[in-house]
Amino acid sequence: MTFEQFLQYRPTRRTFALFGHPVEHSVSPELHTFLLGRAGIDADYIAIDVPPESLGAAVARAREILSGFNVTIPHKQAILPLLDGCDDRVRALGACNTVRVEAGRLTGYNTDFDGFARALERDYDPAGKSALLLGAGGVAQVIARVLHAQGARLCVAARRPEQAHALAEACGAHSTGFDSLPSASFSLVVNATPVGMSPAENGLPAALPDGVQYVFDTIYNPPLTRLLREARSCGARGQNGLAMLVIQGAAAEDIWLDTHTPEPILLDAERLLLARLAQKRLLQIHGRRNIALSGFMGCGKSTVGRALADALGFDFVDADVEIERVHGPISEIFRTQGEPAFRRLESACLTQLAGRERTVIALGGGAMVFPQNFELLRERCLVCWLDVPVEFCHRNLIGDTTRPLLRHEDLLGGISMLYRQRRTHYERNCHLALRADAPVEQVVRALLSEI
């Protein structure tokens, strides 16, 4: 919604909002609509593009028609003199991201502090650890104080050394230049810069220092930034900014509504936003409308595929089941017509399935052995290879008598031989590969993050 439209807006029920500039890529409306719905609150949440010069008029209108609102860049500091009051955290940080409206009175709060603190403490304890904070802007101001409060030995690095020095001095930390990072060692690295954010996803804010154990990247689009990939490659754990976003958003609603959002709802909100991001990125970044899962028989394509489709709100189709629906049992096709005839039917089926939209397709175990099938799918489907150990497939295939290519007394030996023959084809004929010998929900989350 534009600022001009907001001035004319007449709410029909309780309304909350986001003030920012710009706001078109914000996921706050989706997040708060979900949270309000789960809380059973009959209300609207709208994003309003408020240019800096219009903030005063927007705030005046908010006093009249809103029940509360969030504030994002570039208004977190500019709004302070327009408030009637604020809590101690806003005073300490010099920034406000949440405003409660009560009888026309505006009270400011900052939920970013709790958002970062609670997201980090889920997975990593920074107490006594050496921590490197990349950036010295608004988000970094909050994070520096969280890490200081949690007992980390903090060092701040920024492109502008004077900013890093000022922030470090304000919270009893050290500062350093980016040029000295390779020689330093830190257990925790936090990126509070926009470097690596979509669409410039190849950006790397800094090379990871020696000894890093955990990386927190405040960026959530892409969910798996280059920095997080670098961390994974050197054996470090990490997370993106999605949990921080959800927690601070829920904390804002708790302030507006005098409620407490339980942890399971926070986790549901994270899953929802991750799936929404994957939906958008599938088309906007990858230029594709479907997802095809490849891999050896028994790797979990159908199980993972159904769960992935459910998360995305997509249709699901198992290519082998579709072939059997039209042509009868695959084992019978192999027996009476031979494998070449089956592969022709399979290619024809994939041609038809590739024309669908918003569909997750579980491919047959041998489909990607044939390059022409990858060519049929690659333009409209993101082909994802579920890579699992042979032993994982063996456990899933014990007792399965429907596989015409596994009629061996030595089942594990037969699987191993066929897997060796196919593995190179799986690697070559896919857009992305994912280790998938984990619980289904974990595999789905990893797939959504990779997309």
Q: Is 185 annotated as a binding residue?
A: no
Active-site hit among 61, 75, 76, 89? 76
317 is in an annotated binding site: no
72 is in an annotated binding site: yes
To the question of whether residue 301 is assigned a binding role by annotation, the answer is yes
Phi, psi of 438 (to 5 degrees): -145, 170
Q: Is 124 flagged in the annotation as binding?
A: no
Please indicate if the annotation marks 403 as binding a ligand: yes
422 annotated as belonging to a binding site for a ligand: yes
- Find, among 91, 145, 122, 88, the residue nearest to 214 by Cα: 122
Sheet arrangement for strand 105-109? 43-49, 14-20, 68-71, 98-102, 105-109, 85-86
Return d(Cα 311, Cα 445) in angstroms, integer: 9
* Among 228, 239, 231, 237, CA closest to 209: 231
76 is a catalytic site residue: yes
Whether 303 has a binding-site annotation, put simply, is: yes
136 assigned to a ligand binding site: yes
395 is in an annotated binding site: no
Residue 153 CA to residue 148 CA, distance in Å, equals: 7
Report whether 416 belongs to an annotated binding site: no
The token duo for 208 is 């990871």
Buried b (16+ CB within 10 A) or exposed e, 392-415: bbbebbeeeeebeebeeeebeebb
- What does DSSP assign to residue 304? H
Residue 137 counted as an annotated binding residue: yes
Please name the residues in contact with 209: beta carbons below 8 A apart, sequence gap of 6 or more: 132, 181, 182, 184, 185, 186, 189
179 is in an annotated binding site: no
Q: Is 27 annotated as a binding residue?
A: yes
Annotated binding site for NADP(+): 88, 135-139, 218, 241
Annotated binding site for shikimate: 26-28, 72, 97, 112, 220, 248
Annotated binding site: 26-28, 72, 88, 97, 112, 135-139, 218, 220, 241, 248, 298-303, 320, 343, 365, 403, 422
**Catalytic residue ranges:** 76
Annotated binding site for Mg(2+): 302
Annotated binding site for ATP: 298-303, 403
Annotated binding site for substrate: 320, 343, 365, 422
